[in-house]
Structure 1
Amino acid sequence: MTIARRSLLATPALLALARPALAQEAWPSRPIRMVLPYAAGGATDVIGRLIADRLSQRLPQRVVMENRTGAGGSIGSAFVAKAPADGHTLLFHNIGHAVIKSLYATLDYDPAADLKAATIVAESPMVLLVPPNSPHRTLAELVAFARANPEKLSYGSTGGGGALQLVSLLFLRAAGLRMTEVPYRGGAPAALDLASGTLDMLYDAGLTGFALAKGGRARALALSGPSRSPVMPEVPTMAELGFPDATFMVWQGIFAPGGTPDPLLARLQAAVAAVLAEPATRARLMELGAERLVGNPPAEAQAFVTAEMAKWATILREAGVRAS
C-alpha cells in the first residue's frame, strides 16, 4: 500500500478525532444553561446568578440560570448528568450534592460518576445561636447542660440534608450530644421561634445569623468557620472552643456531565477564577456571606467533593439518617 493510499484511508479517522478538539476550540458556541436544583431566592441561587452574570460578560456567549427544583435537588442534577458533555449545560449546586446519595435510596443518576466538578466557587460559615434570654451565655454552658440533659434541648433543622441539618449533626457528633430535632420548612420560621424562646438552638447562615444577633433577637455563641468573621470578630470559632471537628462551611460549586473533556473544564474554571478575582464581584460575594472565595482547579475540586461525599455518608449513617 502506498503512502498516499494510507493517508486517504486515515483521513476520516483523523477528522473524527479532530471533531472534539474543534468543538472545544469553539466553546461556548451557544448560550450556556446553568441549572440550579433549588427554588429562586436562596443564597445558592443568588450567588449562582451573580456568577452567571459575570461569566456572561467574560465568555462569548451568555450564561443563563435555570431553576429545576424537586426531590432534594436530584431532578435538576439528573437533568445535567444526562445532558450532552459539551460544556453547554452545567449545574450550580451546593453541599447538598455531597449528601444526596445518602438520602435517596433510588436515583436515576450517580452523583459521583455522572457529574464532574469544574470548580468550587465559595464557602460560607454558619453561626450557632441561642435565644436572647437563654441561660446559656457561652458554648461551654450550652454543652454542659445538654450533656446532663440528653434530648431536653431542641434545635432547628430544615432536614433533607440541608445545611442547617448537616452543621447541627456535625456539632452534636463532635460534642457527643443528643438534642431534639425540630423540622422547619425554612430558616426564617426557625429564627422566629428561636427569638421567642420556643427553640433552644439554631445554626444560621453567617450573614443572617449575625444580623439576628446584632438586632438583639439572638445570642451568637460560636462560628462554624475556620477563622473569626470580620462582621462579628468577638464570636469565637468552634475550633477555638475545643471542637475542631465541628468546623463547617457551606460551599457552592459548578459541575458538568461526567464525560465533559478535561480541557473544557479547565477553560470554564479559568473563567470562574477570573470572575472571582474581580473586586466588585468579591465585594458582592462577601456581602452575601461568602467569606472564602475558591475557584480551584477541576482535579482539586473533584477530590474535595469526593471527600465530602465520604464524610457525610458516615455522619448521616451514624446519626440514623437513612435513605428513603
Structure 2
Amino acid sequence: MRGWQPEGGNKMMWWRTALSRRLALMLAAAGMAAAPALAGAAELPNKPVKMLVIASAGGPTDLVARLLADGLSKRLPQRFVVENRTGAGGNIAASAVAHAEPDGTTLLFTNTSHAVNRALYAKLDYDPVKDLVPVTVVAESPMVLLVPPSSPDRSVADLVARARREPGRLRYASAGNGGALQLVSLLFLKAAGLKMEEVAYRGSAPAVLDLAAGRIDMLYDAGITGFATAQGGQGRALAVSAPARSPVMPDVPTVAEAGFPDATFSVWQVLMAPRGTPPGVIATLQKEAAAVLGDEAVRQQLTRLGVDRIVGNDPAAAQSYVAGEIARWESVLREAGIAPQ
C-alpha cells in the first residue's frame, strides 16, 4: 500500500483499520451480488404453498409432483402441499390457479393435457396461454407402442403395412379425448397416413387386458407400465415414442428409427403459476425446482417412475415449450376432426 503510513506503534492499528475497511467493502459487494436472489425469495409469502395437481393420487403425474413438492419444502421456508384437483381434463385445477392470488402460493402441476384443453373445450373460464405462466418444465416420459402377443406384427413396418392393407379395420386403444393414449396414437396415425378404429377405455389397465387377449391391435401406454406389459408377456413392444431409446428396454427402437420422426412424443409435466405472479417469485421457484431436480436421489426416483428426461428449464424456455405444444396439438386434433365441445 502506497501513500502516507503511520510510524511506530500506530502502524499495526493502521493496517487493521485498512483491512477492516477492505473486508467491509468485500462483504458489501457480496451482499449486493446476492441481493436479487434474496429479494426474490423474500417475495414469496411466508405461508404454505398449494400445488394443485390435475391427476389422481398415486399416478405418475402425482408422484412426480410430490417429489418436487417435498424437495421444495426442504429448500424454502414455505411448506409445499400437494392437492389433487382432478376432473375435466385438468381444467378444474387450472381454472382455480388461473383465478388465484398471483403471489406464488397457489401453483398448478399439470401435464400434456394442458396443451389440448383449448382445442377440446369450447367454454373455458380461463385462457391456458394468457392466464397461466410456466415456471419450469419438470420432466418428460416416453410412451410404448404395443401390439398383442399373438400379433403377426414384429416391427412398426409390419404394423403399418397391415394397416394399409386393411384401412379402418385395425383397432387402437384410447382413454378418451385429450388423453395421452389418444394423442400419441393420433400423432402416429397422422405420421404414417393410417386409418384405424378408436376404442375408448377408462384408463390403460382395461386396454392392456384387451391387448393381451387380442381384442385390439395397437396400444400406446406410458413407459413405466408399457415396459411392464411387454416384459410380462401381455404385449409386444415395437417402438418407444421418445427421441431416444430407453435404458429399460434398449433393444426397442424409437418411432423415428422406425421411419416416423413426426410421431415422436413425450408426456411432459410442467409447474405453472397465475399470470401476474412477480418475476422474482417465478425466478426463485424455477431456481429451487431446478436444484431439486438436480439432486441425484430425486433423479433416481424419477427414473424409476419412467421419466427419461429431467428438464428444469428456465421460465422463458418453458413458455416457448408449452406454447409450441399447444400449437402442435391444436393442429393434430383439428386434422383428426375433433372439434371443441
Counterpart amino acid of residue 250 in structure 2: P
Q: Is the 8 A contact 2:140 2:307 kept in 1?
A: yes
Q: Does 1:135 align with 2:152?
A: yes
Say how many residue pairs are matched: 304
- Paired position in structure 1 for 2:183: 166
Query: Could you tell me the TM-score, scaled by structure 1's length?
Result: 0.92
Deviation at 1:211, TM superposition (A): 1.0
Query: Could you tell me the TM-score, scaled by structure 2's length?
Result: 0.87
Q: Does 1:201 align with 2:218?
A: yes
- Paired position in structure 1 for 2:229: 212
Q: Which protein shows a greater Rg?
A: 2
Measured in 2, the distance between the counterparts of 1:210 and 1:23 equals 42
Q: Does 1:261 align with 2:278?
A: yes
CA deviation profile, 1:26-62 (whole Å, cap 9, x unmatched): 4241110000122222211111111111111111111
SS in structure 2 opposite 1:208? helix
Measured in 2, the distance between the counterparts of 1:22 and 1:297 equals 18
- Paired position in structure 2 for 1:319: 336
Counterpart amino acid of residue 128 in structure 2: P
RMSD value, Cα:
1.2
SS in structure 2 opposite 1:87? coil
Q: Is the 8 A contact 1:28 1:87 kept in 2?
A: yes
- Show structure 2 runs of 5+ residues with no match: 1-37
1:274 to 278, 285, 291: 291
- Paired position in structure 2 for 1:12: none
Q: Does 1:249 align with 2:266?
A: yes
Measured in 1, the distance between the counterparts of 2:139 and 2:167 equals 36
Q: Does 1:306 align with 2:335?
A: no
1:228 to 227, 245, 251: 245
Q: Is the 8 A contact 1:28 1:59 kept in 2?
A: no
Counterpart amino acid of residue 77 in structure 1: A
Q: Does 1:177 align with 2:177?
A: no
Deviation at 1:71, TM superposition (A): 1.4
Q: Is the 8 A contact 1:131 1:195 kept in 2?
A: yes
Q: Which segment is superposed worse, 89-98 or 41-50?
A: 41-50
CA deviation profile, 1:79-106 (whole Å, cap 9, x unmatched): 0000011000000000111110000000
2:136 to 107, 116, 119: 119
SS in structure 2 opposite 1:155? strand
Measured in 2, the distance between the counterparts of 1:69 and 1:252 equals 15
- Paired position in structure 1 for 2:88: 71
SS in structure 1 opposite 2:221? strand
CA deviation profile, 1:158-207 (whole Å, cap 9, x unmatched): 02201101000000000000000000010100011101111110001111
Measured in 2, the distance between the counterparts of 1:228 and 1:24 equals 39
CA deviation profile, 1:203-237 (whole Å, cap 9, x unmatched): 01111111111111110001101111111000000
Q: Which segment is superposed worse, 180-189 or 42-51?
A: 42-51
- Paired position in structure 1 for 2:25: none
Measured in 1, the distance between the counterparts of 2:230 and 2:333 equals 29
Q: Does 1:240 align with 2:257?
A: yes
Q: Is the 8 A contact 2:43 2:280 kept in 1?
A: no
Measured in 2, the distance between the counterparts of 1:71 and 1:126 equals 23
- Paired position in structure 2 for 1:81: 98
Counterpart amino acid of residue 213 in structure 1: A
- Paired position in structure 2 for 1:3: none
- Paired position in structure 2 for 1:186: 203
Q: Which segment is superposed worse, 68-77 or 220-229?
A: 68-77
Q: Is the 8 A contact 1:126 1:204 kept in 2?
A: yes
Q: 1:141 to 1:108 in 2, by over 3 A?
A: same
Q: Is the 8 A contact 1:28 1:60 kept in 2?
A: no
Measured in 2, the distance between the counterparts of 1:77 and 1:298 equals 18
Q: Is the 8 A contact 1:156 1:202 kept in 2?
A: yes
Measured in 1, the distance between the counterparts of 2:89 and 2:203 equals 14
Counterpart amino acid of residue 319 in structure 2: Q
Q: Is the 8 A contact 2:40 2:281 kept in 1?
A: no
Counterpart amino acid of residue 304 in structure 1: Y
- Show structure 1 runs of 5+ residues with no match: 1-20
Counterpart amino acid of residue 122 in structure 2: A
- Paired position in structure 1 for 2:169: 152
Deviation at 1:23, TM superposition (A): 8.3
Deviation at 1:70, TM superposition (A): 1.6
Deviation at 1:22, TM superposition (A): 6.9
Q: Is the 8 A contact 2:40 2:283 kept in 1?
A: no
Measured in 2, the distance between the counterparts of 1:125 and 1:89 equals 29
Measured in 2, the distance between the counterparts of 1:23 and 1:221 equals 48
Measured in 2, the distance between the counterparts of 1:164 and 1:308 equals 16
